[in-house]
């Protein structure tokens, strides 16, 4: 109580409301890749909310070179999936409901991409607390050994920090190589998606890099802009129809963000139609998906993206890479616990160096129970009653011994029953006999 020495009227404000848990964001992806502008020899991090902000900070897409034959057939000079994918990936992310995100530029266009570039980007990511999803759309173009090493590093970082989740792509559709190279550690901190997507995005191009055949001569599109307007406009229309093929991770990240915003992190980001996507590059059958979804040998599940008549292109899987793990099999379960753990960790920081006694324990217990009750009311936790859905224990003789108190440890036990997605809907039919 303060000491008063002079006569007068004094006002004291008493804190009567308990502390509360401020829920952390769950869908703030970080995109790691190469950009037009940015530092050439170090990772550069930026927080963005629109594609226009990306263009102002890092520049535009790398132009694709095209070749046009005498019949005016347009063919990309390289693969239909550009080498430098980050710009297109951001565009696809925003078109699928994505919002605020981070971009880590690990080099400029033309660099020889390597494992060291990505190690630099992941080291920069470790210094930033807010990102919760890790997306690396250009990783698929690295040699397999480097690609596998970076994937393992990303999963290890997610597990170390305990507050983020990796969305990985299966390079070139080689599921077996992907499973073999990823190892067996920290699999619940990531999910993989397959196959690539034929998007509605058009290639960016430089007219002077579009080569044309005219008999025995070769020219470019810019050169005929005024001399042969009809052919110029025809080729431009056909160039606009040349679609970009991308790994699915960016579109999936947008679907995660949209699902979290509209339903909650506990809703599986599956059975969701993807926007700006014409279709998957492979048509996966139910029999093929069985082998993707459940793999007895490696235990690594790969989520399929499939096209259904009248429904469009849907994410048709919601498993982590730990597909045989009963605790962490499903993406929404893993991500819900990441949210609860991170929110609780930050909210209880007020108790550091507070007296380790019953008063502090009661504050912490009440704060966490109130938070979990709110999640239960929203449908995030399974149980007919709050008591069946979660519990919080803290106290001497419950979670701590006298030695724990002497050594300054306050141990809180939290258990929550997460709702799990209805992955398999089974309808059982039988003939009903006519009643007499």
Q: How far apart are CA 301 and CA 295, in angstroms?
A: 6
Structure tokens at 185: 């550690």
Give the residue-averaged pLDDT of 284-296.
94
Q: Which residue has the tokens 């590093």?
A: 153
Residue 4 or 362, more confident: 362
Q: How far apart are CA 385 and CA 17, in angstroms?
A: 25
pLDDT, residue 14, reads: 75
Go through the domains of the chain in sequence order and give each one's CATH number.
29-202+243-334 (3.40.50.11780), 207-240 (no CATH), 352-436 (no CATH)
pLDDT, residue 436, reads: 61
Residue 98 has pLDDT above 90, yes or no: yes
Distant-in-sequence, close-in-space partners of 334: CB < 8 Å, separation ≥ 6: 165, 188, 189, 320, 328
pLDDT, residue 1, reads: 65
Q: How far apart are CA 275 and CA 92, in angstroms?
A: 8
- What is the rounded radius of gyration, in angstroms, for the C-alpha atoms of the chain? 27
Under 8 Å between Cβ of 144 and 180: no
Query: What percentage of the chain has pLDDT greater than the value 90?
Result: 82
Q: How far apart are CA 340 and CA 330, in angstroms?
A: 16
How does pLDDT run across 139-184, given as a tens digit for each residue? 999 999 999 999 999 999 999 999 999 999 999 999 999 999 999 9
How does pLDDT run across 49-68, given as a tens digit for each residue? 999 999 999 999 999 999 99
Q: How confident is the model at residue 77 (pLDDT cuts 50, 70, 90)?
A: confident
What's the chain look like in SS3? CCCCCCCCCCCCCCCCCCCCCCCCCCCCEEEEEEECCCCCCCCEEEEECCHHHHHHHHCCCCCCCEEECCCCCEEECCCCCCCCCHHHHHHHHHHCCCCCEEEEEEEECCCCCCHHHHHHHHHHHHCCCCCCEEECCCHHHCCHHHHHHHHHHHHHHHHHHCCCEEEEECHHHCHHHHHHHCCCCCHHHEEEEECCEEEEEECCCCHHHEEEEECCEEEEHHHHCCCCHHHHHHHHHHHHCCEEEECCHHHHHHHHHHHHHHCCCCCCCCCEECCCEEEECCCCCHHHHHHHHCCCCCCCCCEEEEEECCCEEEECCCECCCCCCCCCCEHHHHHHHHHHHHHHHHHHHHHCCCCCCHHHHHHHHHHHHHHHHHHHHHCCECCCCHHHHEEEEECECCCECHHHHHCCCCCEEEEECECCCCCCCCCCCCCCCCCC
Closest C-alpha among 337, 315, 188, 310 to residue 249? 315
Q: Report residue 170: phi and psi, to 5°.
A: -90, 110
Residue 205 has pLDDT above 90, yes or no: yes
pLDDT, residue 40, reads: 82
Structure tokens at 379: 């449908």
* pTM reported for the whole predicted model: 0.92
Closest C-alpha among 229, 276, 226 to residue 248? 276
Residue 15 has pLDDT above 90, yes or no: no
How does pLDDT run across 244-262, given as a tens digit for each residue? 999 999 999 999 999 999 9
Query: What percentage of the chain has pLDDT greater than the value 70?
Result: 99
Residue 18 has pLDDT above 80, yes or no: no
Q: Which residue has the tokens 């690396």?
A: 136
Mean pLDDT of the chain: 93
Residue 128 has pLDDT above 80, yes or no: yes
pLDDT, residue 432, reads: 79
Residue 423 has pLDDT above 80, yes or no: no
pLDDT, residue 4, reads: 83
pLDDT, residue 429, reads: 79
Structure tokens at 268: 């599986």
Structure tokens at 218: 């070769």
Q: How far apart are CA 255 and CA 151, in angstroms?
A: 21
How does pLDDT run across 310-359, given as a tens digit for each residue? 999 999 999 999 999 999 999 999 999 999 999 999 999 999 999 999 99
């Amino acid at each position: 109580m303060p000491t008063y020495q002079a006569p007068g009227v004094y006002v004291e404000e008493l804190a009567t409301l308990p502390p509360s848990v401020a829920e952390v964001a769950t869908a703030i992806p970080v995109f790691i890749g190469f950009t037009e502008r940015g530092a050439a020899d170090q990772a550069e991090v930026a927080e963005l909310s629109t594609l226009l902000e990306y263009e102002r900070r890092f520049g535009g897409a790398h132009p694709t070179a095209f070749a046009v034959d005498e019949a005016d057939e347009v063919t990309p000079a390289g693969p239909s999936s550009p080498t430098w994918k980050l710009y297109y990936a951001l565009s696809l992310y925003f078109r699928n409901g994505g919002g605020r995100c981070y971009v880590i530029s690990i080099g400029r266009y033309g660099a020889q991409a390597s494992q060291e570039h990505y190690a630099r980007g992941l080291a920069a990511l470790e210094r930033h607390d807010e990102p919760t999803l890790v997306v690396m759309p250009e990783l698929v173009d690295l040699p397999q050994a480097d690609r596998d090493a970076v994937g393992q590093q990303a999963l290890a970082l997610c597990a170390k920090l305990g507050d983020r989740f990796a969305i990985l792509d299966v390079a070139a559709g080689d599921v077996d190589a992907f499973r073999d190279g990823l190892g067996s550690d920290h699999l619940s901190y990531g999910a993989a998606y397959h196959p690539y997507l034929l998007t509605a995005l058009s290639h960016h191009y430089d007219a002077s890099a579009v080569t044309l055949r005219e008999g025995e001569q070769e020219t470019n599109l810019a050169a005929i802009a005024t001399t042969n307007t009809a052919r110029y406009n025809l080729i431009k229309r056909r160039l606009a129809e040349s679609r970009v093929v991308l790994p699915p991770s960016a579109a999936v990240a947008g679907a995660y963000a949209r699902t979290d915003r509209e339903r909650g992190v506990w809703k599986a980001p599956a059975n969701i139609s993807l926007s700006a996507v014409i279709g998957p590059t492979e048509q996966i059958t139910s029999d093929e998906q069985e082998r993707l979804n459940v793999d007895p040998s490696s235990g690594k599940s790969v989520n399929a993206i499939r096209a259904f008549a009248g429904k469009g292109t849907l994410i048709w899987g919601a498993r982590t890479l730990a597909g045989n793990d009963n605790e962490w099999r499903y993406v929404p379960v893993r991500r819900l616990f990441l949210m609860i753990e991170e929110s609780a960790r930050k909210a209880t920081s007020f108790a550091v160096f507070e007296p380790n006694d019953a008063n502090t324990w009661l504050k912490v217990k009440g704060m966490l129970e109130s938070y979990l009750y709110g999640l239960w009311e929203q449908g995030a936790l399974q149980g007919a009653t709050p008591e069946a859905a979660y519990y919080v224990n803290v106290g001497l003789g419950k979670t701590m011994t006298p030695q724990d108190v002497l050594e300054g440890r306050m141990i809180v036990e939290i258990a929550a029953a997460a709702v799990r997605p209805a992955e398999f809907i089974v309808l059982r039919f039988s003939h009903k006999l006519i009643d007499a």
